[in-house]
Structure 1
Amino acid sequence: MATFKQSEDYDYSEYLIPHGTINGVAIPFFTTPEFRLDLRQNFKLRPESDIFIVTYPKSGTTWMQNILREMLFAEEKGEWADLPLTDRVPWLDHIRDMSVGDLERLPNPRVFKCHNHSPQEMDELFFKGDKTPRIIYVLRDPRDVSVSLFYNLQKAGKTISDWMTKASFTDFFKTYFRDEKVVFYGPWEKHVENWLSARHEYNILVVRYEDLIADSSKEIARIATFIGWDCSAERVREIADKTSFASVTKEKLFKVENGVSDSFLRKGVVGDWENHFVDVEDEKLMREIAEELFKKHGV
């Protein structure tokens, strides 16, 4: 298998899944120091209108992207309406066919997706000391996160990782998900701790994936209030229905190349971890870590 190394300036490894390391944190191989330098130097923050969706991977990111697109951009026409979700609400570690300069063309309000491991890193890249931009941090049960990430990377593994195509979920959990040197964006609990501990310092709304599942309309109304978007209860219910998992899987939200969609949506359910954790100690570990963190931060 060919190397995926894209920079001489990060610590690169093909162990398990190709990745680089920046500031001691593993990141996808395509996120290079040069790309982040471009962001640091050329990204122009619009603090009054920019909105950042921040998550640990597989925590409801696409769902939140779609909610905000439907909330803010439903009436768009022309080129903006025709953009796939991945371009209309771009990921700031991998903007693919766009350049950093292209982000300037996006009309207000702009919405971005991020997985950065800490607000301090995002401050360095985007905020430059301005703590007013709105950040929506989406949390999900780490047991379900690990299962969703397993299938996500298993799909990607067909082209980038022989190990990933053969690993069982238990192997993946013990060898990759719990290894802070290789898991993208660091261990789940460090990511969550970094963001929850800063939620009163930065302008952060915390949304739990499980709450979105239980009462989508209630959570969407909270999000609307947070971003200053005035809407009726009827419109909130419409957004909840249109952005439900069953609805979005039927829509053309993603790029399709050579007949293959870039969507990594799978089930979108709560509790699928029960079908995957064979080792009860693994499940207990993640449950206790989550309970302690949520109790500490009052989530």
Structure 2
Amino acid sequence: MLILNNGVPKSGSTWMQNILRNYLSPAYPSEKWANDWKNPSVDPDKLEGYVASGEWKEGTTLLKTHIEYSEGYKFLVADDIKVVVTYRKLTDSVVSWFHHQLRMNKTSSEDKLNWLDTKGRQFALRAVRHRLSWQDQPNALMVNYESMVQDAVPLIEEVTKFIGSPCSLFDAINLVEKTQVRISSKKSLQEGQHVRTGGLSVAKEELPEAYLKELEALQEVVEAGSFTPEIAKAFREGKLEQAV
């Protein structure tokens, strides 16, 4: 069995990785295929070769990936490959990605507004395309991050059943206690942490009001199943209000 923990960045995929790792004690790719991520993975350009190698068929192997589905990845649609796709509210995804880029020294606090209007918009659309690309694939399970924060136990039970190794209620509760990062107050947030907010939403405090409303409007379009290339173009250009 090959399991792809395949949320877009900053979608809760690190939490999901810890859940799966603690529950399954899985194997990981050998050095021939592994990339240099903290969480074991395979570079996208090597993935088809890795799947064809059959190395992963000896047990249960876990990969962390951020792959958007396309026809080029149709080799991943198979009964013995399971894809767990985490997704998150766009407002918080963009804020979290900004702080990730800040931590990686790829932007600055002074450049935040420009970043939001360029890289931030690009990332929001990436998150939308990623989610939509997987939601109709037969071997993919969509897992909402906000639902996990609210009550992760039933979702852990659903995920473990989906991958063919159902856990008990007791196991699910223990996995939550072992893996969930909790931040008690927005006053205690610290810059530089990989998991900075622990489920708290800080979008209203950290995004300009008009920009926040645009992201919320884009979210509504996605939830309604009305996302189109025209909508994407309008959002990219800051003209979503006119388009909807």
Counterpart of 1:194 in structure 2 is 133
Counterpart of 1:274 in structure 2 is 204
Shift of 1:216: 1.0
The CA distance in 2 between the partners of 1:144 and 1:55, in whole Å, is 14
Counterpart of 1:55 in structure 2 is 7
1:93 maps to which of 30, 36, 43:
43
Q: Tell me the percent identity.
A: 23
| Residue pairs, 1:172-191, within 5 angstroms | 172-179=115-122, 183=123, 187-191=126-130
The CA distance in 1 between the partners of 2:202 and 2:71, in whole Å, is 33
1:151 paired with 2:80, answer no
Shift of 1:103: 9.7
The CA distance in 1 between the partners of 2:193 and 2:200, in whole Å, is 19
List structure 1 runs of 4+ shifted beyond 4 angstroms.
Answer: 100-103
CA contact (8 A) 1:58 1:149 kept: yes
**TM-score normalized with structure 2 length:** 0.72
CA 1:103–1:244: 2 relative to 1, 3 Å: farther
CA 1:91–1:238: 2 relative to 1, 3 Å: same
The CA distance in 2 between the partners of 1:293 and 1:230, in whole Å, is 31
**Residue identity opposite 1:276 in structure 2:** E
CA contact (8 A) 1:177 1:187 kept: no
Counterpart of 1:137 in structure 2 is 85
Shift of 1:166: 4.7
CA contact (8 A) 1:54 1:136 kept: yes
CA contact (8 A) 1:52 1:136 kept: yes
Shift of 1:288: 1.5
**Residue identity opposite 1:63 in structure 2:** W
Unmatched tracts of structure 2, length 5 or more: 28-36, 45-49, 184-191, 227-244
CA contact (8 A) 2:85 2:131 kept: no
Encode CA deviations 1:185-243: one digit per residue, 9 max, x unaligned: 963222222222xx2x3311110000100001111111111111132211111011101
The CA distance in 2 between the partners of 1:187 and 1:118, in whole Å, is 12
**Residue identity opposite 1:122 in structure 2:** Y
| Residue pairs, 1:107-146, within 5 angstroms | 108-123=59-74, 127=76, 130=78, 133-146=81-94
The CA distance in 2 between the partners of 1:231 and 1:273, in whole Å, is 34
Shift of 1:118: 2.0
CA 1:130–1:143: 2 relative to 1, 3 Å: same
Counterpart of 2:145 in structure 1 is 209
The CA distance in 1 between the partners of 2:143 and 2:206, in whole Å, is 25
Shift of 1:281: 2.1
CA contact (8 A) 2:2 2:80 kept: no
Counterpart of 1:291 in structure 2 is 220
* SS in structure 2 of the partner of residue 178 of structure 1: helix
| Residue pairs, 1:161-180, within 5 angstroms | 161=106, 164-179=107-122
Shift of 1:267: 1.8
**TM-score normalized with structure 1 length:** 0.60
Higher helix share: 2
The CA distance in 2 between the partners of 1:105 and 1:187, in whole Å, is 29
The CA distance in 1 between the partners of 2:83 and 2:59, in whole Å, is 16
CA RMSD between the two structures: 3.4
Unmatched tracts of structure 1, length 5 or more: 1-48, 77-85, 95-99, 248-261
Q: How many residues are paired up?
A: 207
Shift of 1:105: 7.6
**Residue identity opposite 1:178 in structure 2:** R
* SS in structure 2 of the partner of residue 187 of structure 1: helix
Counterpart of 1:71 in structure 2 is 23
CA 1:271–1:53: 2 relative to 1, 3 Å: same
